[in-house]
Amino acid sequence: MKPQQAVIVYVEDDEPSIFVMKMILEKVMNLKNTYILRSSRDFLQQVKGLGVIPDLFLMDIQMKPHDGFELLSWLRRDPQFAQSKVVALTASVMNEQVARLKESGFDGAIAKPLNIDVFPQLIKNILNGGSVWYIS
């Protein structure tokens, strides 16, 4: 899949992180089909309200009221989103956390802060069917 055609949803409740991600996705990568969800509250309703099936969810793990693990479990139980890739974005990159992300069913993880030199290629790899565990 060409990244420019991909539908990407970023779930994040931190405004500075949202600003950075919008700049990377829209300005650096020139992606047109990006959606930002600023809260994990009513998550599935928000996603269904977009009217599209996302190809990729980029999801912060540390959110309230629902964390990324809860959101992932809801997506995996909903047949509408079962094929969507879900990648965790986290500043917590201890080995135990990475193991938990894998066991929970995430398709990958990318460490924060984002490396702008590497991030676009990571997204292309994920959209082309790869899994990315970039924890440097």
Confidence (pTM): 0.93
Backbone angles phi, psi at 78, to 5 degrees: -100, 115
One digit per residue, the tens of pLDDT, for the chain of length 136 reads: 566 689 999 999 999 999 999 999 999 999 989 999 999 999 999 999 999 999 999 999 999 999 999 999 999 999 999 889 999 998 876 777 888 999 999 999 999 888 889 999 999 999 999 889 998 6
Tokens 């899994």 label which residue? 131
- Set out the domains of the chain in order of their start, with CATH numbers: 3-134 (3.40.50.2300)
In this prediction, residue 3 carries a pLDDT of: 60
Please state whether the peptide bond connecting residue 120 to the residue before it is cis, i.e. omega within 30 degrees of 0: no
Residue type for 80, please?
Q
Question: CA 32, CA 38: separation in Å to the nearest integer?
Answer: 18
In this prediction, residue 41 carries a pLDDT of: 95
Cα–Cα nearest to 54, from 127, 129, 128: 127
Cα–Cα nearest to 111, from 81, 88, 90: 90
